[in-house]
Structure formats: structure tokens, C-alpha cells
Amino acid sequence: MPASNPTCVYCGRRATCKDHIRPRSRGGTDEDSNLTPSCDECNSAKGAKLLTEWIPGRVLRAVAVEPKVYAELLRIRADDERQLAARHLARADAAALAREQALGEILSTRRAVGLTQAVFLGIVPIGLAAVRKARQRDPEFPEPIATGLGGELLYHVDELRAWAANRPSVLAQTTRLPGNTPVTVPAIGAARRPVEPLPPEPPRAG
Ligand SMILES: [Zn+2]
């Protein structure tokens, strides 16, 4: 095909101008990589639209004949993914702010907190299951100071924090890896109550 007789990448008719694949008003440049042969009708109909906002059939035809159009579609998709990621981060920021406000409210008023909230707010830096286990097993676990709605026991924030800072090694946590292999992770801190080793299994009869 002679260069002097190009066809419109969008509709296949005779090209009469160059289209900005990404419109200048949407950040497109005048570089050759952003220009493609087009007819006047497609050029003006597409106007300030991104490829993903225009007639899909014409865009698909252009993708098949013009690598620059395909490259632009990939860029639009990458932009969309970046925006999704940014929105996700904004939501995470909002959640962190909500936690901060909840913690501030607790610290400035009753200073009493349930264990679920204490874990959620980071007052105790371990998981809820480990805290509940500690409440049962650790004689140094703080006493509740009140009972909240629904019968939940409430603890003093300062006492929970002091306990968490000095928690003994009885808090060693057993977790299960994929494949159900139990792994015991020792907690940081001095062993105040050594854990009794399990007795060896008796030999099986027979
Ligand atoms: Zn056209």
C-alpha cells in the first residue's frame, strides 16, 4: 500500500487526516506514536474520547491494523489498574483513620476495651486467639474492670498494654502451615512458666 494513499485505521475508508489516538485534551501528545491515519468522520466522531469510550467495532478494527492503537489500549488498562490501586489505598487510609479515632476515643474517655477491639486497634500486638488463650492460661493477664454490652469483659487499656509489653513465653503460638503441619512459634520474652514437655508416647501393644 503506497504511503500516499493510507486508509483510516478505524473504518478502512480513505484517510484524510491524522487522529490523536489519545486526545490532546486527555494528555495525548503530538508524537508520531500517538498519531494514526484517520478519515475526517472518525476523527471528529471520536473527538475527545479515549478508545475505551468510543465505538467498540471501530476500535477493534484499528487494533487489528495499527499496533499504536493496541499499545494505547494497554496504557488505558494500566491507568485503570493504577486508579483502582489508588482507591484501594484511600480506603485503607480511611480504615486506619477510623481505628485511630476509635483508639483516641477510648484513651480520652473510659480507657476500657474488649479483647476483640484491643486486637483490632493494635493495643495488644498479637492475634485474638492468642490473647484469649493467654486470658485462660496466664496468671498475669489483667483482671477485667467492667462488663460491656452483650456481656463482653472490658479491660483497662494501660493494663493490657503493660501486660503485652511483658508477656511471658507461655504465649508461644501453634499455627498450621498449608499441609496441616503444626509449627510452634515461641513468643518474645523471658520464660516465667516453662512449658512441660509432652511425655513420650507409650509403645503400642501388639
Ligand atoms: Zn474512518
- The CA 3 to ligand 1 mean position distance, Å, reads 17
Q: Kindly report, residue by residue over 53-105, the tens digit of the pLDDT.
A: 999 999 999 999 999 999 999 999 999 999 999 999 898 888 888 888 888 88
Listed by start position, the domains of the chain span 1-95, 110-177
For the chain, how many residues are written?
A: 206
pTM: 0.51
| Cα of 11 from ligand 1 centre, angstroms | 4
Give the tens place of pLDDT for each residue, 129-173.
999 999 998 889 999 998 887 888 999 999 999 998 887 544 455
Ligand 1 center to residue 140 CA distance, Å? Answer: 79
Distance 36 CA to ligand 1 centre (A): 11
How many angstroms from the chain centroid is the CA of residue 50?
28
- State in Å: Cα 81 to ligand 1 middle: 30
Burial class (CB in 10 A: 0-12, 13-18, 19+), 69: buried
Rounded to whole angstroms, how far apart are CA atoms 123 and 157? 7
Measured at the CA of 126, the angle between CA 139 and CA 134, to 5 degrees, comes to 20
Cα 16 to middle of ligand 1, angstroms: 9
CATH of 110-177, one of 1.10.287, 1.10.3470, 3.30.70, 1.10.1660: 1.10.1660
